[in-house]
Structure 1
Amino acid sequence: MADLTTRFLGIESPNPFWLASAPPTDKEYNVRRAFEAGWGGVVWKTLGAEGPPVVNVNGPRYGAIYGADRRLLGLNNIELITDRDLETNLEEMARVKADYPDRALIASIMVPCEEAAWKAILPRVEETNADGIELNFGCPHGMSERGMGAAVGQVPEYIEMVTRWCKQYYDRPVIVKLTPNITDVRKPAEAAKRGGADAVSLINTINSITSVNLDSFSPEPSIDGKGSHGGYCGPAVKPIALSMVSEIARHEATRGMPISGIGGVTTWRDAAEFMALGAGNVQVCTAVMTYGFRIVEEMCAGLSDWMDEKGYRATSDFVGKAVPNVTDWKNLNLNYVAKARIDQDLCIKCGRCYAACEDTSHQAIAMSPERVFEVIDEECVACNLCVDVCPVENCIDMVPMAAGTTDPRTGRVVSPEHADWTTHPNNPMAQAAE
């Protein structure tokens, strides 16, 4: 049977599912309930400096994007870091860690970008016996306007500087949480590594306005008729997060750096995908805010069943397994040819594939008077749009053409050799094949 136990930075937890720093980890009551439900670890909601706590708005803090069935696709929040005083948070963290020594407990921290501020808070966090800290360099709203959060995460020099301070004044693992609101996520990851970070976590939320009320003309969520940009999270951000995780995992300067994957994890499959792209564990927020703490039961059961089916005994057996298959577009095999095939036994004759292909793609699907849909190989480029819009799973497949056969669209014989853009004759910068 699969063993879900993970050892991330030497921190052991019973499974790879941690709660991300957010409202679900804001207080002792929440975290105890989360651990009782089965979560492997938590990142405590971000702590601020000593003194008067941060003030949050007393009105709507969340806006949402829904699918057609009102399933939550994305959540926009304008909530800031914890609005409870530092001492209360530290006392609660110490009690929870003492009662749940087998669970990971990480303290998320955001204080002014001054050495004295970090030097002051780190010993106090260490006294709680938390397993490590996560530096919140990601939040794009509110705190960034005060020179913290994403304002630090967008400047690699600041990331390196603060990380060095933390490694100097703190003896346990330091995780740097990265912002996605940047052109190239590899640069801040490199800076974190130069500063001595033990790991990076990503992604934090994406700067966003999710909607506008067309009666009041105020962005939502609206506070007294005004709205602000916030941080976007949930299933809709998962593709962005996967891409950024993979970039760090395969980048020469950061390859092998431990990663905690964040961004739209809702099911065990989402978690497995993050881990296959190099994440040692995953952090979850929006799914819990939607479905509650017990969603972890399905995550653990699903991941365990899949691992048993595939023959993986430990999560480390498949962490990073997809990284070698991630490449740049220029390296893709241009000699690979496939064609769409429709399973007539599964087809429900809805016509979505035909409408999509006829109106927006390559006019490669024919419809008979009896609404039988057939692929026109002479036009099909195997773009996969028909697969993506089909409501029936596995009804349409992309079938590779065998080497030596002739592609009816181009009239060319399918070659068994790899050929990509770097050597293509149409590329003015093509490299001569050796």
Structure 2
Amino acid sequence: MADLSIEFCGIKSPNPFWLASAPPTDKAYNVIRAFEAGWGGVVWKTLGEDPPAVNVSSRYSAIYGKNREVIGFNNIELITDRSLEQNLQEIAEVKKAWPDRAIVVSLMLPCEEHYWADILPKVEATGADGIELNFGCPHGMPERGMGAAVGQVPEYVQMVTAWCKKHSKLPVIVKLTPNITDIRKPARAAKEGGADAVSLINTINSITSIDLDRMVALPIVGTASTHGGYCGAAVKPIALNMVAEIARDPETRGLPISGIGGIANWRDAAEFIALGAGCVQVCTAAMLHGFRIVEEMKDGLSRWMDSKGYRTLADFSGKAVPNTTDWKYLDMNYQVIAHIDQNECIQCGRCHVACEDTSHQAIAQIIDQASGARRYEVIDQECVGCNLCEITCPVQNCITMVPQVTGKPYMNWTQDPRNPRAEVKEESTAV
């Protein structure tokens, strides 16, 4: 049976599933329930200076799919609104009771060294396994010069990280903001400052919707609102991309990564790990479905690893990174063509409408004049292999993309004679 235990930047836990710094990790009661449910670790909700932050009401909003399934989740909650003393006491008690579980403490303080020098020994005294620097909170705290206001300035990231390495012996994980043009720059800065790892992504600036009767965004506080932090399933593609950018950047390659963003099941976790994550953090899914979801996550990941012959997470961690490249290195001569399985087709016509109206007019609608029955067939010579028909088809595996034998060798855009700016031929990085 697969071994799910990990050691992440020196921190051990029985499995890679950690709860992210958020409401689920705000107090001992929650964390104990999480550990009883089987979570491998937690990142305690962000601690700050006293007096503690004051939160507003209400705090959350969402984007829904069919049957009110929450696709995206938005919050305007700040860091802990409980005293530093109370949090530190509870952290110490929980760590003593659960020595085999990872407890990382999230911190956010003003950009003055004495604040960090003062709090770090207090955190160490709890027996916590590490600290996470919250450089990502996009609302409320940036207005005070913290959170994303730090994470968006690589020089600040490096400076504060270096302070923490100077004043603490604990592993330092730097939590990065996605609200930035190039995620590699703060990641490089964190590494330069001595970070033991990075975690990402934090939440994305967002306004989920507008109440058109009251003409105010959600969540509503009195008669007004503000932008919040977006998370949940909708942000997973953004998070995966940013994790991959750091994993394959020559300057940060090998830097441990804790993956965050839209992780709701074992497959999500496996995808982050395949792109280089050493552990994953979960928040929204736990808030929507409770702590017991970790049972299915662990079981599913273990079963999948067994089916693939992976004994430990290290056996497949980062395996997808070499196959992730820049667009210019993709094979221009690779070709796929759509194929419709007529035995599976329900003749709904969605593929035809999508291709006819918005794509390449490569799916013909054939109507039997006698019976009026419809049939849809791909026009091979018109199909460019864009995948739109496969995506719009409501029947899984009815439409597949079939690779074609072109007889042409690998050729990327830097080698393509159609490239008007290919003055210097770059070496291929294809695998």
Other-structure match for 1:326: 324
Q: How do 1:216-365 and structure 2 match up within 5 A?
A: 216-365=214-363
Other-structure match for 1:3: 3
Other-structure match for 1:159: 157
User: Aligned-pair distance for 1:371?
Assistant: 2.1
Q: Deviations over 1:75-133 (max 9, x none)?
A: 01000000000000000000000011110000000011110000010000000000000
Q: Deviations over 1:127-147 (max 9, x none)?
A: 000000000000000001100
Q: Distance in 1 between matches of 2:229 and 2:398?
A: 37
Q: Aligned pair 1:206/2:204, yes or no?
A: yes
Q: Aligned pair 1:429/2:418, yes or no?
A: no
Q: How do 1:107-186 and structure 2 match up within 5 A?
A: 107-186=105-184
Letter in 2 for 1:256: G
User: Aligned-pair distance for 1:348?
Assistant: 1.9
Q: Distance in 1 between matches of 2:153 and 2:51?
A: 27
Q: Distance in 2 between matches of 1:348 and 1:20?
A: 43
Matched residue of 1:347: which SS? coil
**Closer, same or farther in 2 for the Cα pair 1:346/1:432, shift >3 Å?**
same
Large movers: runs of 4+ above 6 Å: none
User: Aligned-pair distance for 1:69?
Assistant: 2.4
Matched residue of 1:226: which SS? coil
Letter in 1 for 2:399: I
Q: Distance in 1 between matches of 2:286 and 2:349?
A: 37
Other-structure match for 2:39: 39
Q: Distance in 2 between matches of 1:433 and 1:38?
A: 49
Other-structure match for 1:407: none
Query: Is 13-22 or 343-352 further displaced after alignment?
Result: 343-352
User: Aligned-pair distance for 1:429?
Assistant: 2.1
User: Aligned-pair distance for 1:68?
Assistant: 2.3
Q: Distance in 1 between matches of 2:158 and 2:34?
A: 33
**Closer, same or farther in 2 for the Cα pair 1:432/1:110, shift >3 Å?**
closer
Q: TM-score, normalised by structure 1?
A: 0.96
User: Aligned-pair distance for 1:433?
Assistant: 7.9
User: Aligned-pair distance for 1:248?
Assistant: 0.2
Q: Distance in 2 between matches of 1:274 and 1:70?
A: 26
Q: Distance in 2 between matches of 1:350 and 1:93?
A: 57
Q: Distance in 1 between matches of 2:200 and 2:317?
A: 16
Q: Distance in 2 between matches of 1:219 and 1:101?
A: 44
**Closer, same or farther in 2 for the Cα pair 1:433/1:250, shift >3 Å?**
closer
Q: Aligned pair 1:21/2:21, yes or no?
A: yes
Give 5+ residue unaligned stretches, structure 1.
405-414
**Closer, same or farther in 2 for the Cα pair 1:20/1:433, shift >3 Å?**
closer
Other-structure match for 2:399: 396
Q: Aligned pair 1:48/2:40, yes or no?
A: no
Q: Distance in 2 between matches of 1:433 and 1:108?
A: 43
Q: Distance in 1 between matches of 2:159 and 2:115?
A: 13
Other-structure match for 2:82: 84
Q: Distance in 2 between matches of 1:52 and 1:13?
A: 33
Q: TM-score, normalised by structure 2?
A: 0.96
Q: Aligned pair 1:420/2:420, yes or no?
A: no
User: Aligned-pair distance for 1:54?
Assistant: 0.5
Matched residue of 1:130: which SS? coil
Give 5+ residue unaligned stretches, structure 2.
368-372
Letter in 2 for 1:47: L
User: Aligned-pair distance for 1:432?
Assistant: 4.2
Q: Deviations over 1:257-306 (max 9, x none)?
A: 00000000011000000000000010000000111000001101110110
